[in-house]
Amino acid sequence: MKTFLKPLVALGAVAVALLIAPAAHAACPAGQSIPFQHALGGSFSGLPEANVTGFVSVSGHPEINSGTDAIVCTQAGFTPNGVLCQVEAGTASDGLVTISGDWQDIPTAGCPATTSPSGVLADGDAPNVVLVTSFDVDPITGVPFGVYVLASVGYSAALADYPFDLAGAVGSGTTFPAIPAKRIPRPKLTAIAATPNPDGTVNATLAWSTATAIDDCNQTLFPTCARPTAASDLDGYALYEKPTMPCTTIPSDLHASAWGTPVAVYASSATGALVPLPPADPTGTTCTYLTLGLITGNQPGGAVSAVFTFGGVDSDHDGIPDSLDNCPRASSRHAFQPSYQAD
């Protein structure tokens, strides 16, 4: 690992260790069906099916999760695994997806009923949290960006399942339109330290907007929200980095797996971080690429944000690329002003 990554690893080593999904095994006993699904005609939208991934976990019990179960329906009809996907999943290219799974499925890990002393789930018990991610390309700029839906819902005794249609619903209406995905927050640069670090790196201050979770606590149709107020189900943010890469090959693959292990993770309350980066290449040959992912249930989402590029020609050799330097011909960081905006 490169020297300039060590400070980040030290900050996030413990949290990164948590990003290991537990081994899947048989979950709820045979005959104890506990579905988690879109059960009332709802769906999620804006999630290109070619890159979509998703998983479910129990709030406060990340060891209870969907494991390797294929829970995202990309189109209506039967899947190769024999799962019947809802009509609302539409076609394989419309961006509409639904959730369809059961805690009785063998690929899942654990059973929500074990969180109840009686072994029987009541209204609002063991809220299920789903994180679905994908990525798309902006039709105007051509820049790829990651999208997500982070939603939670408590158990419904009347429906005998976890109806994700209720997440984000308001009032007592019985029609549940598609819930649109949002862009994964992208890191942006807000400041650069005046003095380089001893190892030659430059301390950059990054900032990002807050990701949001939706829940079932604003609807009155079913008593699935037993929580006084549903706290955010976001565990935190994962920062990924590709240092000293050619500036001509900006990464376009926003699968988290294409970025390797996060270099650091931050709490859900974080809106930024101090990150040591390689200084800008004076020749503009190499750049450093950063992106952000979401964490819930101690697992990172399957897609990451639009990429932030740090680099380009550095005419005054002060570690700040000309594109971000308000004085590209004078070596000074004191009057640094970012010259671009991120998502």
Task: DSSP for 160-193, please give it.
Answer: TBEEGGGTT--BT-S--PPEEPEEPPPPEEEEE-
Q: What is the pLDDT of residues 132-182, one digit of tens each?
A: 999 999 999 899 999 999 999 999 999 999 999 999 888 877 889 899 999
Would residue 332 count as lying in a domain?
Answer: no
Q: What number is the average pLDDT over the span 220-245?
A: 87
Most confident of 77-86, 235-244, 312-321: 235-244
Rounded to whole angstroms, the Cα distance separating 16 from 96 reads: 32
Would residue 95 count as lying in a domain?
Answer: yes
| pLDDT in the model for residue 194 | 77
What pTM, to 2 d.p., does this model score? 0.85
Would residue 206 count as lying in a domain?
Answer: yes
| pLDDT in the model for residue 14 | 34
Q: Regarding predicted confidence, which is higher, 313 or 92?
A: 92
SS3 track for 106-141:
CCCECCHHHHCCCCCCCCCCCCEEEEEEEEEECCCC
pLDDT of 326 strictly over 80: no
Q: Regarding predicted confidence, which is higher, 6 or 46?
A: 46
Would residue 336 count as lying in a domain?
Answer: no
Would residue 177 count as lying in a domain?
Answer: yes
Name the least confident of 98-107, 171-180, 277-286, 308-317: 308-317
| pLDDT in the model for residue 29 | 78
Q: Which long-range contacts (CB under 8 A, 24 or more apart) does 329-337 make?
A: 333/192, 333/193, 333/194, 334/194, 336/191, 336/192
* Cβ atoms 99, 164 nearer than 8 A: yes
Would residue 331 count as lying in a domain?
Answer: no
| pLDDT in the model for residue 213 | 92
Q: What is the residue-averaged pLDDT of the chain?
A: 85
Number of domains in the chain: 1
The conformation of residue 295, written as its DSSP 8-state character, comes to: E
Would residue 333 count as lying in a domain?
Answer: no
Would residue 13 count as lying in a domain?
Answer: yes
| pLDDT in the model for residue 282 | 83
Name the least confident of 8-22, 166-180, 236-250: 8-22
Residue range of the domain that includes 219: 3-324
Q: Give the strands of the sheet with 202-207, arranged side by side.
A: 188-192, 202-207, 272-277
Q: What is the pLDDT of residues 208-218, one digit of tens each?
A: 999 999 999 98
